[in-house]
Chains A and B, each alone.
Chain A
Amino acid sequence: MGRYVGTSVKRVEDPRFIQGKGRYVANIQFPDMVHVAIKRSPEAHARITRIDTSAAAAMDGVVAVFTGQDFKDGGCGSLPCGWLVPDTKVPDRPIVVTDRVCHVGDSVAVVAARTPYIAADAVEAIEVDYEPLPTVVDARGAMDEGAPLVHAEIEDNVSYHWALGDQEACDKAFAEADEVVEIELVNQRLIPTAMEPRAAAAQWDAAAGEMTVWTTSQNPHPIRLLLSAFTLMIPESKLRVISPDVGGGFGSKIFHYPEEVIVPWVAREVGRPARWVATRTESQMTDSQGRDHVTVAKLAMTSDGTFTGLDVETWANQGAYLSTFAPLIPTALYITLLSGNYKMPGVFGKVHGTLTNTVPVDAYRGAGRPEAAYLVERLVDLAAARLGRDPLELRRQNAIPKEDFPYQTPVAFLYDSGDYDRLMATAADRADYAGMRESQAAARAAGKLRGVGVVCCIEASGPAPSAVAGSLGSAVGFWESGEIRVHPTGQVSVFTGSHSHGQGHETTLAQVAADELGVPIESVEVVHGDTGRINFGMGTYGSRSACVGGSALVRSAEKVRAKVLKLGAHLLEAAEEDVVYDQEAGRVHVKGSPDRGKDFGELAFAAYTAHNMPEGMEPGLNFVSFYDPANFTFPASSHICEVEICSDSWEVRVLRYVAVDDVGKVINPMIVEGQIQGGVVQGVGQALTEIGAYSDDGQLLSGTLLEYAVPRADLLPGIEVDRIETPSPHNPLGVKGAGEMGTIAATPAVANAVLDALAPLGVTHIELPLTPERIWRAVQAAGNGA
């Protein structure tokens, strides 16, 4: 163990943020810049019969107005989908539509103007006539006979069907089951709502034929690839994509969006730098959204509570078009997680990816895994209720024992390591679970609606072995690059292809590099988010930056150490086997004689002066590695939540929230705890307050933060965080993903607690979010009405 990994190093990126010096895309300013604004469709599905841009174009300060035809004629390609399961039907997704809009917010026309206010006025002045077409918004209803078609050429609105698991074993489990519990539930649409609205800026250098694009992306290199090969058609060598400071993403900033094409295209067209910044409402109706499943499922078990089978059918709403990775989420990141933390021989799941007149759906924090966890953990609570068993005890009975790892599930994944019984025992201990149950009994006796929710959840993080991703439908690989450039003075620049939009990589990856090389952390800088400085990278999502990006840096550090060791031996006139690299001190010395040695800085300098190099050694000290993970990593959570429901207002009050997580080895405990806490509150948001709601005619009813209720500071009384560590055996840091566990576990933890509180009233299910109105209605429906 080095000096830094495992300690709560304060974040090196913070000084700029706390002083208002964050480098966000919206802060980019050029003197002659044009401001881009976009005319959005107010209709969910309509034919465009007329667009008149003349009044807008004539306005003082308007530089240009463009329609979809201009982009088409100007050489822009359609937005591609980067993940195709077999027989996926992909609707055409133009940058700006020409004749038909498919969801509220679809781009219809584009204005470039001298100021943002003039651009907004000009957008208002564009006249568009729409001929409304019938709409469909429901994931399952989209497949109904006679449902309106979102795209005429895609039959039944089905983009794909997909299935995984052992159907025979599953059927057998149900044929032989003593008990079966069933559920039908909706995992509601969510709007990710990063606090920074999306933005893009671009500068075209006509003389050099070079374009620079700044974008609020979690992965600038894949965006450059897509811009170059599919949409903007500028060669990668002439295209630089920069994602500077990005104000949160949660998945929604992974994808290739129309505005990333519109802005550079406009900049080139008008010959001036251009910038577009989304309003919040634009973000709510154009950022890819999350979840939106309808699921029917059943769980088979023996009379002693042993789970034997799980059968799942899900309709996954993909929205009007396929966003960049859309088909991945309800397939290889959802069905694969249905085994949960439990031994169950007969798991089988199938999913139908459907198209509707809604904003496209893609990854949102957890992405597929929260949908699986919510389903499995609700079913387990129903099973406990059926058997009259304590829900924690039933989970511990069925948990995969630690001696069974690596554990092959019936749904493709090989879990790397874990100790779920200890995880749950730790959570129970930390929460005083027995005491909670006692006080619940007392509260119930006093007529109060008190509930305790417990969950055990699994995640697959750190995507992914590239060959596996390819076999599942990916168009790209999921390795990561890490470059270590040691400067002649011994200062170190680390270049990572992963991207921080709040996770703190400038600190954690510096901790890793500093320990691997044995240098002070102050001498390490971490560079990310710029295709002009980093050779390539796949970016950040799926809690992959430490597992994959961190591992790439370890590999590069090994190469640096090997060269430094060889050079050191040469300069010390010793045989290579007679010297050691002291990783604590960052020094090469003769074995047994610490005084006979060379410091890291001396050796770096020697590598660059190259006056005295070993035979055949090249000058310089710069290594890059491309790390392709051997497997996903499998973090796990056990969370316990205690709630009380007011029987007058039907509001849910969270009394305690205890989160115990296993994310393997931890680089920076402070940052990991922050990730867990933030994740938990997002998951609680899904449970209690958030819903991306559409009317039947496709109007987004939660298009501002007035209607879309993200959690505020008083939603929870605080979160108690603890952890256990089962290191991942297959990456050099032993780390697992930490970014999404909190979100995955919190939704079912709160839902289970609320339904536990309502159990005496005979309520067994309420669709999320568990608002007072929904709870009141469920209580009335269960026959408790006054």
Chain B
Amino acid sequence: MRHRVCLTVNGKAEEFDVEPRLLLCHLLRAYVGLTGTNIGCDTSQCGSCTVLMDGKAVKSCTVLAVQADGCEVTTIEGLAGADGLHPVQQSFWDNHGLQCGFCTPGMIMTAVEILERNPDASDADVRHGLEGNICRCTGYENIVKSIVAAGTRATS
């Protein structure tokens, strides 16, 4: 049995013919060809595959492609605008918020949502907000710094 799903990925509407069990992360990587969304675990623990679905950060390994039918999905590839890097991307670069880069797309997408909800997020707010994302390289120190710096707290 196959299903037709229609979703908007990074602003572009596309239709796919999928198995009901296909995961959103696999749809993005194998069907749309957007390999920026990395897969780090099978159990929704690591958050590497985080994307925005209708503006909410979701782990795309835990969403079926059919559940995303009709949704707007933003991946790491869709974050930078015509005027350059998204402020969170820029802040990760400026603050050495990544090492191997594998968790980075998920971290950045989660960070966008954290700051969307609370632009004035503190160090502790960010540490709490990152509970669903694992980084094995940085010890989180510079990830937290990057996210706080991308919010309003750093300048206020």
Inter-chain contacts of A74 with B (CB < 8 A): none
Given contacts A117-B21, A705-B134, contact A195 B139 (CB under 8 A): no
A671: min CB distance to chain B, Å: 7
Does B55 lie at the interface of the complex (its beta carbon under 8 Å from any beta carbon of A)? no
B101 touches A502 (CB 8 A): yes
Select which of B34, B40, B143 is within 8 A of A280 by beta carbon. Answer: B40
Q: C-beta contact mask, A680-724 vs B, less than 8 Å → 1, else 0?
A: 111000000000000000000000111000111110101100000
Q: C-beta contact mask, A8-20 vs B, less than 8 Å → 1, else 0?
A: 0011011111111
B103: min CB distance to chain A, Å: 5
Inter-chain contacts of A716 with B (CB < 8 A): 139-140
B43 touches A705 (CB 8 A): yes
Q: C-beta contact mask, B24-55 vs A, less than 8 Å → 1, else 0?
A: 00100110011111111111011010000000
Given contacts A20-B34, A20-B76, A704-B41, contact A678 B139 (CB under 8 A): yes
Q: C-beta contact mask, B71-90 vs A, less than 8 Å → 1, else 0?
A: 00001110110000100010
Q: How far is the CA of A706 from the CA of B44 in the complex (A)?
A: 9
A279 touches B42 (CB 8 A): yes
Nearest CB in chain A to that of B135: its residue: A195
Q: How far is the CA of A671 from the CA of B34 in the complex (A)?
A: 29
Q: Which candidate, A22-30, A421-429, A444-452, A559-567, is the interface stretch facing chain B?
A: A22-30
B101 touches A22 (CB 8 A): yes
A531: min CB distance to chain B, Å: 21
A677 touches B141 (CB 8 A): yes
Inter-chain contacts of B77 with A (CB < 8 A): 19-21
Select which of A24, A674, A681 is within 8 A of B96 by beta carbon. Answer: A674
A280 touches B93 (CB 8 A): no
Inter-chain contacts of A27 with B (CB < 8 A): 29, 35
A714 touches B127 (CB 8 A): yes
Q: How far is the CA of A504 from the CA of B108 in the complex (A)?
A: 19
Select which of B19, B30, B34, B102 is within 8 A of A195 by beta carbon. Answer: B102
Given contacts A20-B34, A677-B139, A718-B141, contact A504 B99 (CB under 8 A): yes
A194 touches B136 (CB 8 A): yes
Inter-chain contacts of B21 with A (CB < 8 A): 117
> Which bucket holds chain B's interface residue count?
35 or more
A17 touches B139 (CB 8 A): no
B96 touches A670 (CB 8 A): yes
B43 touches A280 (CB 8 A): yes
Inter-chain contacts of B103 with A (CB < 8 A): 195, 247
B136 touches A501 (CB 8 A): no
Nearest CB in chain A to that of B36: its residue: A20
Inter-chain contacts of B136 with A (CB < 8 A): 193-195, 248, 250, 678, 682, 710
Q: How far is the CA of A248 from the CA of B101 in the complex (A)?
A: 8
Does A523 lie at the interface of the complex (its beta carbon under 8 Å from any beta carbon of B)? no
Inter-chain contacts of A107 with B (CB < 8 A): none
- Near B by CB (< 8 A), chain A positions 646-688 give 670-671, 673-674, 677-682
B40 touches A197 (CB 8 A): yes
A714 touches B41 (CB 8 A): no
Q: Would you call the interface of chain A mostly helix, strand, loop, or mixed?
A: loop
Given contacts A195-B134, A705-B46, A714-B127, contact A245 B101 (CB under 8 A): yes
Nearest CB in chain A to that of B93: its residue: A14
Does B67 lie at the interface of the complex (its beta carbon under 8 Å from any beta carbon of A)? no
B137 touches A678 (CB 8 A): yes
Q: How far is the CA of A713 from the CA of B103 in the complex (A)?
A: 13
> Which bucket holds chain A's interface residue count?
35 or more
Given contacts A24-B38, A713-B126, A713-B144, contact A246 B100 (CB under 8 A): yes
Does B98 lie at the interface of the complex (its beta carbon under 8 Å from any beta carbon of A)? yes
Inter-chain contacts of A11 with B (CB < 8 A): 93, 96
Select which of B100, B126, B141 is within 8 A of A194 by beta carbon. Answer: B100
A546: min CB distance to chain B, Å: 15
Nearest CB in chain B to that of A742: its residue: B139
A502 touches B93 (CB 8 A): no
Inter-chain contacts of A680 with B (CB < 8 A): 139
A26 touches B93 (CB 8 A): no
Does A281 lie at the interface of the complex (its beta carbon under 8 Å from any beta carbon of B)? yes
Inter-chain contacts of A243 with B (CB < 8 A): none
Inter-chain contacts of A250 with B (CB < 8 A): 136
A280 touches B41 (CB 8 A): yes
Inter-chain contacts of B48 with A (CB < 8 A): 195
Inter-chain contacts of B85 with A (CB < 8 A): 18-19
Nearest CB in chain B to that of A705: its residue: B45
Q: How far is the CA of A670 from the CA of B19 in the complex (A)?
A: 46
A22 touches B138 (CB 8 A): no
Q: How far is the CA of A29 from the CA of B19 in the complex (A)?
A: 20
A43: min CB distance to chain B, Å: 21
A18 touches B19 (CB 8 A): no
Does A135 lie at the interface of the complex (its beta carbon under 8 Å from any beta carbon of B)? no
Q: How far is the CA of A29 from the CA of B33 in the complex (A)?
A: 9
B45 touches A704 (CB 8 A): yes
- Near B by CB (< 8 A), chain A positions 185-203 give 193-197
Inter-chain contacts of B113 with A (CB < 8 A): none
B142 touches A195 (CB 8 A): no
Q: How far is the CA of A737 from the CA of B126 in the complex (A)?
A: 31
Inter-chain contacts of A247 with B (CB < 8 A): 38, 100-103
Instruction: List 30 A-B residue pairs with CB atoms under 8 Å apart, sorted by A's residue number.
Output: A17-B98, A17-B101, A18-B89, A20-B36, A20-B76, A20-B105, A22-B102, A27-B35, A29-B30, A117-B21, A195-B134, A195-B137, A247-B38, A247-B103, A248-B99, A248-B100, A250-B136, A280-B46, A674-B96, A674-B99, A674-B142, A677-B142, A680-B139, A681-B141, A704-B43, A705-B134, A706-B45, A711-B140, A713-B126, A714-B127
Given A277-B39, A682-B136, 11 more A-B residue pairs with CB atoms under 8 Å apart are A18-B93, A21-B77, A194-B100, A248-B99, A280-B40, A501-B100, A502-B137, A671-B96, A704-B41, A710-B136, A712-B133
